[in-house]
Amino acid sequence: MTKSIATAMVAALTAMTVYAGAGMLGGAADAAACAEAEGAECAAACPGDCDGDGAVRINELVLLVRVALDLEELSACAGSDRDADGSISIEELIAAVDGSLNGCPVVIEFTGFEADDVLALADDDLDGRDNDTPGSAAARQYIIDQIRGFAAGLDSGASGDDAYLQPFDRGTNVLGVIPGGELADEYVIVGAHYDHLGGCSGVCNGATDNAAGVAAVLAIGRSIAAIGTPPRRSVVLAFWDREEDGLLGSSYYVNNPPVPLADTIAYLNFDIQGANLLPSLRKFSFAVGAETGGDLLLDAVAEATARVDLDIRRLSQIFGQGRSDYVWFIRRQIPTVFFSDSTGPCYHTAADDVSVVDFDKLAQQSESGFHLTYMLTETDTPPSFAMAPLVVFPDATRVLDVIDAAVASDLDLFGPTDRAALLDFQSDLAAVVAEGEANFGDDDIGALAAGVAGVITNLSNVPCDGFLEP
């Protein structure tokens, strides 16, 4: 094979946007050829499937190029030697890429989750990571050390660690970028605040709020970088300071953006992850505000969350109560999703420690965020900002499912007054849902929003420990 052909093939791999099951945003081809086959038959139907698992991975296609260039032994992907002549020909290599584009799914893998990120950031030695403290500086350094190998500093005019820093009044954001390819001047921002509180009854380690959110963003960044080819769009990894003081870090960013806000196609916010409101709600989580990107973003969130074994409920932006960094991006008319487990009984207490982090849940939340991020980097049609009603009827049905699960299994965790309030809300909400969408009016909207706020308040009165016991 000539170098020019090899270069062309590598370029083709770099430009590939095939993504199994990504639908409208991912540009995936019909995977029927492999979907209808199993085992060895599926591997045979998909040239380039080196490990015979029925999916062609980007790294397998890259491996094929290396085999064709004699940089790897044929045994690394012998199944792609269709004519059994002991080598990979240009025709066989083209067949592998063509098969991936026309029937064999290319799978982009999530690889980056590390529980150690939470352990490091929620360590007692960091004393809550409050801004302008040694613990904050230690958290900042940890984040920089993690992203240095795969993300550049966003401040191109600075060098070393300073390139990753955006200082402001008594705070410092940490900003990295994974440069894109074809559409490098467009950006997807993935963010989480890394600060917490400096004082409570004990050490406020903020494990779920928000060491876990930082861990999710780090996992997404690692996985994007591990694909081996640049995403079409650049990915900004943003770690905000002073969120607990009024969302000041993200506010400073949108008023002093290192990359143009007009070129930012979406913002994904992770705040309070790996947390369980109640034992009965371990599988529940929330994706708030996706309607700000219209049907394109709503559908993309649905696809990404369907890839994991969690019930991630989409809710309108009002249910975020304006309590996290996503707010400023919506105000600048950037399509936004706020991923959260909401505020539960451990919120802003010393009990929010690593002992209450549901690491399996956190890993799945990170994986879902990765899939959404990747789809947004690759899509030909990015979401546009959309105005939407504050509350819609599906919010009522989704909230009722959550309340029903809580009442069915954990009602006895609530005190008498809170228990009565929860049952009253369940009854009222069930009546709203029974009346149907055609009768969903302003009174229902107000009652739903107020009822959810009341449940969140009452959750602070239930026990914080024991959520991960069998």
205: cis peptide before it, omega within 30°? no
For residue 196, give the amino acid letter.
H
Tokens of 341: 């487990």
- The conformation of residue 108, written as its DSSP 8-state character, comes to P
Residues 320 and 366 occupy one common structural domain: yes
Q: CA-CA distances (angstroms) from residue 425 to 68, 300, 410, 432, 448?
A: 65, 31, 15, 11, 8
Q: Of 107, 126, 145, which one is at a domain's C-terminal end?
A: 107
Residue 467 lies in a domain: no
Residues 88 and 125 occupy one common structural domain: no
Report whether pLDDT(35) > 80: no
Report whether pLDDT(15) > 80: no
Residue 387 lies in a domain: no
Distance CA 176, CA 388 (A): 32
SS3 track for 11-49: HHHHHCCCCCCCHHHHCCCCCHHHHCCCHHHHHHHCCCC
C-alpha angle 303-398-443 in degrees, rounded to nearest 5: 135
Lowest mean pLDDT among 28-42, 373-387, 440-454: 28-42
Report whether pLDDT(426) > 90: yes
The pLDDT confidence band at residue 100, using thresholds 50, 70 and 90, is low
- The pLDDT assigned to 61 comes to 77
Burial class (CB in 10 A: 0-12, 13-18, 19+), 437: exposed
Burial class (CB in 10 A: 0-12, 13-18, 19+), 467: buried
Distance CA 232, CA 177 (A): 13
Residues 62-66 have a mean pLDDT of 80
pLDDT mean across residues, the chain: 87
The pLDDT confidence band at residue 470, using thresholds 50, 70 and 90, is very low
Residues 362 and 429 occupy one common structural domain: no
Report whether pLDDT(262) > 80: yes
Report whether pLDDT(339) > 50: yes
Distance CA 31, CA 41 (A): 14
pLDDT digits (tens, 9 = 90+) for 292-307: 999 999 999 999 999 9
- The pLDDT assigned to 102 comes to 58
Using CA atoms of 459, 462, 465, 466 in order, give the dihedral in degrees to the nearest 10: -100
Residues 208 and 355 occupy one common structural domain: yes
Residues 47-69 have a mean pLDDT of 75
- The pLDDT assigned to 468 comes to 61
Report whether pLDDT(272) > 80: yes
Residue 260 lies in a domain: yes
Question: Minimal CA–CA distance to 237: which of 255, 219, 210?
Answer: 219
Residues 62 and 153 occupy one common structural domain: no
**Buried/exposed code over 196-234 (b: 16+ C-beta within 10 A; e: otherwise):** bbbebeebbbbbbbbbbbbbbbbbbbbbbbebebbbbbb
The pLDDT confidence band at residue 55, using thresholds 50, 70 and 90, is low
Tokens of 334: 């950037």
Contact criterion met (CB below 8 Å) for 463 and 420: no
What's 359's domain CATH number?
3.40.630.10
Residues 211 and 296 occupy one common structural domain: yes
Residues of the chain with pLDDT > 70: what percent?
86
Distance CA 335, CA 292 (A): 5
pLDDT digits (tens, 9 = 90+) for 105-114: 556 789 899 9
- The pLDDT assigned to 335 comes to 98
Residues 140 and 78 occupy one common structural domain: no
Residues 129 and 49 occupy one common structural domain: no
C-alpha angle 60-31-16 in degrees, rounded to nearest 5: 45
- The pLDDT assigned to 77 comes to 85
Residues 188 and 328 occupy one common structural domain: yes
Q: Which position has the higher pLDDT, 38 or 388?
A: 388
Residues 338 and 400 occupy one common structural domain: no
- The pLDDT assigned to 233 comes to 98
Residues 61-85 have a mean pLDDT of 82
Residues 112-130 have a mean pLDDT of 96
Residues 103 and 121 occupy one common structural domain: no
- Which residues constitute the domain of residue 415? 393-459
- The pLDDT assigned to 360 comes to 95
Q: Which residue has the tokens 């009822």?
A: 451
Residues 184-208 have a mean pLDDT of 93
Residues 96 and 208 occupy one common structural domain: no
- Count of Cβ atoms closer than 10 Å to residue 262 Cβ: 11
Domain count, the chain: 3
- The pLDDT assigned to 198 comes to 80
- Taken in order 14, 16, 21, 27, the sign of the CA dihedral is positive
Report whether pLDDT(26) > 80: no
Burial class (CB in 10 A: 0-12, 13-18, 19+), 380: exposed
pLDDT digits (tens, 9 = 90+) for 213-250: 999 999 999 999 998 889 999 999 999 999 999 999 99
Q: Of 66, 90, 107, which one is at a domain's C-terminal end?
A: 107
- The pLDDT assigned to 199 comes to 74
Tell me the sheet residues that pair with 202. Answer: 200
- The pLDDT assigned to 466 comes to 59
Distance CA 346, CA 209 (A): 10
Residue 469 lies in a domain: no
- The pLDDT assigned to 28 comes to 32
Q: Of 64, 81, 107, which one is at a domain's C-terminal end?
A: 107
Report whether pLDDT(129) > 90: yes
- The conformation of residue 375, written as its DSSP 8-state character, comes to H
Burial class (CB in 10 A: 0-12, 13-18, 19+), 195: buried
pLDDT digits (tens, 9 = 90+) for 341-353: 999 999 999 999 9
Residue 160 lies in a domain: yes
Distance CA 62, CA 10 (A): 7
Question: Minimal CA–CA distance to 451: which of 426, 431, 433?
Answer: 426
Residue 402 lies in a domain: yes
Residue 464 lies in a domain: no
Residue 466 lies in a domain: no
Contact criterion met (CB below 8 Å) for 365 and 275: no
**6-15, 52-61, 166-175 — which one is most confidently predicted on average?**
166-175
C-alpha angle 5-9-11 in degrees, rounded to nearest 5: 115
